[in-house]
Structure 1
């Protein structure tokens, strides 16, 4: 069907955020990791921050700036296969001009044979390591790299890709689709023999305070916040609002809908019917009724979005366009 402006005129123009505050999420292991990470800087030659390419301008931990300021650093925008790359050049310009980033590399570290790790990241890393004064670490036979970033942005996937590329060995650190897979405070892993390079894998560390709810919901959409703490249906409702307001309707065909919808419960009911996820409940009259399982339906939607099945998007496209227009 042809989707007209008149059809969409009754859709929401703004998102009403939940009463649940998602701007405060800082578990004890994150505080411990941040403190130990800062104490480790004296033994570090280089810092790599990994961030999600779908939110390149939002959600970076401001506390990392102090860490990045004292060592050469690189920002990796990972999961490039899931973002809209038409904004790539403007994003890099914005990061360098306004967020103090020295170097930016887009990668897809989930694929260990990714050409970006081999052709872009490793040469840049070697160039900087060999050309940077090491001060009190001069004369040592190895280099230490600190890997930092939010939860579930691909830090462990990066380490595994680097390790596999140089040594042919398998995975050194566990990876997963959810936030909080890496919990050890600082784990030292060899990723190269020549030059001898070790990396410190750190747990994902959120900001103690996220700047606003809009950023918080973007982080939740990308899986850097724990889904059940925010609410599966709330995250999907934000996704539905964002897709509709930006004119992206691939979800209609993917979930076999007849037309776009702005009603989260109607949407999840259709998804539940499609995947046959219903709950059997007993009514007050004693009869059994079948109701859609909204949480399970929402999980199907989130998985489809996070795997790129609903399209590849830059959730910060409004920010990028406001800067470049």
Structure 2
């Protein structure tokens, strides 16, 4: 249970109860070239014994690509909910029950940065493959596993974590804090000696259609698309709204603000001043051009987003509305 000063809680009690979503074009946020990556995954399926789908724990329900299950067939499936260290898992049991209600029986929460729960994965894969028919591979003693997921959920980090745990060796897959680091289905990467197991890393593939703008904003906050496609200040505004809705006021202390606020312009101005992120702007006056120093709102928004993504503002469950049985606020028709 989070305890905050009463002044912080009452400061936002009468503020926004919904986020303005209308007029935002979610379709242009998500690149349309990803069908090519899905086709390449399909072409590798005959070599694969099991599918590991990696997703972000903060959006356990939203944003998963339904085409993975439809296109990749009846292969055994393991859902790995990564970045558990950044997620509020106080209602983990309800999350599991909700996912099981959607037919997902095999779920493991992980933190690939600290290798938490990584040792559970290979035994679970061995169990799943052992209880299924291995088409065209019955006599082959090695395992070949395909790792799929939307961008920037930690697919490559999972592979590297497995190698650290089971082979005591370094990185085999490139990782980064932006979507799109892995751009093609890679060659097989060994992650275990006993049993002999290889993984195929794949590029992130988003769903061809995002259900509504709020789901798109949740995905953007988790870094599944490049920030500039959505707009850093738009994302910062939605983040501020969510933090206040969840009564998570660590941003006040982190940035030394006078109190909680629902005014993104005021918050970003304070952040910019505190971090000395300013820029000179030429203003035309009656006597000629004058250089005026203004807060760099875009730079402040980027810092606000980075701080959230690093976990410094506290663990977050962005799908809390679904757990509570509520529809997303102001959902587009």
**1:117 alignment counterpart:** 118
Matches within 5 A, 1:85-104: 85-98=89-102, 100-104=103-107
Are positions 1:15 and 2:19 aligned together?
Answer: yes
Find the residue that maps to 1:74 and give its secondary structure: strand
Are positions 1:183 and 2:183 aligned together?
Answer: yes
Deviates more, 1:8-17 or 1:251-260: 8-17
CA contact (8 A) 1:49 1:74 kept: yes
Distance 1:266 1:83 in 2: 27
CA contact (8 A) 1:155 1:201 kept: yes
The RMSD of aligned alpha carbons is 1.8
User: Which deviations, in whole Å up to 9, do the C-alpha atoms of 1:147-205 show, x marking residues without a partner?
Assistant: 00010000000001112222222111111111111112343212122222111100000
Distance 1:145 1:67 in 2: 16
**1:173 alignment counterpart:** 173
Aligned residue pairs, count: 319
Higher percent of residues as helix: 1
Find the residue that maps to 1:209 and give its secondary structure: coil
**1:221 alignment counterpart:** 221
Find the residue that maps to 1:238 and give its secondary structure: helix
Matches within 5 A, 1:280-319: 280-285=280-285, 286-319=289-322
Matches within 5 A, 1:1-325: 2-3=6-7, 7-17=11-21, 19-27=23-31, 29-67=33-71, 69-98=73-102, 100-111=103-114, 114-118=115-119, 120-285=120-285, 286-322=289-325
Find the residue that maps to 1:139 and give its secondary structure: coil
Deviates more, 1:287-296 or 1:121-130: 121-130
CA contact (8 A) 2:182 2:204 kept: yes
Distance 1:61 1:200 in 2: 18
Structure 2 residues without counterparts, runs of 5 or longer? 327-333
User: Which deviations, in whole Å up to 9, do the C-alpha atoms of 1:38-78 show, x marking residues without a partner?
Assistant: 22222210000000000001111011121455111100000
CA contact (8 A) 1:144 1:198 kept: yes
Q: Give the TM-score normalised by the residue count of structure 1.
A: 0.93
